[in-house]
Amino acid sequence: MNSPLNVFSQVNLLPQLCSQIFSQFASHWLKVTPSAFTRGAKGLNSGLRTDLKKFNVVNRHKNTDGKPGHVHLIGSGPGDAELLTVKAYRLLQSVDVVMYDWLVNPEILDMIPPHVERRFVGKKCGEHSMTQIEISELLVSVAKEGKTIARLKGGDPAIFARAAEECDLLTRNHIPFSIVPGITAASGASAYAGIPLTHRDCAQSVRFITAHLKDPALQPDWQSLVTGAMPDAQGKNAETLVFYMGLRRIESIMQQLQAHGLPMDMPVAIIDKATSTQQQVCIGQVKNIAQRIHSRHFTGPALIIVGEVVSKRQKVVSYHQQDGLQCTAHNELSNAATNFAG
């Protein structure tokens, strides 16, 4: 008859056992993930969640020792649910609370397990469910309860998403946190619209500018922006300008660029609801883009790209259709010459 297993005598085997369990999970995950990706966001959600449950890596973090919980500031990407990172997905399965913004795709919210608490803390121009300081204080309050939190933001949390303000209050209250990057709107919008942000022939750098400043009386350094966007004598070495949250200020932005010397025929693109199934693109020039946008039903969020890279836009949008994106801008591509001349 076998003697009872002495657990304490087997402690030295724990590292080896953990290694074997992790290896088994990793091996299986790598086998199922490609097929999950081909089934789209829902397939990815189902496949990964099944694997996480099967190997029991979805651990609930219940602090009973008085220590604060951990806050993960997570970027959900620019819109398309399949652009969510694997790390972001994994964390959403393991937290106690998800606090999310209005820009987060509902398909991503569907990936959150039913037992995880959800709190909407979204705000946009003129519509705030909470102020920024209230959101930051709520993060601290819930974390002090010992709960692990996913602070889910659109795009990348470190780019015009006010992550620094939330991190500041967390730091002052000794709350541990991490920042999980996401695909920022500029990257997603340019890729899905077929516009390169840089190009060896005309743009060696790119600058991100917010059109929504904390103090409305403040203004960007327009002269610096225009100087950077101007090509050299060979028509090269210019800088692409990307304005976030600028749809309502499009006329003012174009007027300022013209007033500070940017050529009136500089190409401009406005991408509305980038990477989503409602994505639309309007192409024009500094002199006429504000008028062109009036005939479109753009509601935002929208991104403005200014620079010669817009004229390098790919003339084929079949890859959008393959991804199920109804990009209406392809109608304009067929008469691109008319757009830029108009």
| 54 part of the active site | no
Query: 123: burial class by Cβ within 10 Å (0-12, 13-18, 19+)?
Result: middle
Residue-by-residue DSSP string for 142-165: HHHTT--EEEEESB-TTSSS-HHH
Q: Where are the beta strands (DSSP E) in 154-287?
A: 177-180, 203-210, 238-244, 267-272, 280-285
C-alpha distances in angstroms, 179 versus 76, 94, 226, 267, 319? Answer: 12, 16, 33, 35, 32
| 153 part of the active site | no
Best CA proximity match to 48, nearest among 108, 5, 99 = 108
**Pair 308, 267: CB distance under 8 Å:** yes
Alpha carbon distance, N-terminus to C-terminus of the chain: 92
Per the listing, tokens 């993060």 go with 139
Look at residue 109 and give its three-state secondary structure: helix
Alpha-carbon distance of 88 to 48, in angstroms, equals: 12
Query: 164: burial class by Cβ within 10 Å (0-12, 13-18, 19+)?
Result: exposed
Alpha-carbon distance of 112 to 84, in angstroms, equals: 13
The active-site residue out of 80, 96, 101, 156 is 101
The active-site residue out of 42, 51, 87, 123 is 123
Residue-by-residue DSSP string for 35-47: HHHHTHHHHHHHH
Per the listing, tokens 């990348």 go with 156
Would you tell me how many other CB atoms lie within 10 Å of the CB of residue 124? 14
What stretch of H or E contains 312? none
Cis peptide before 113 (omega within 30 of 0): no
Active site residues: 101, 123
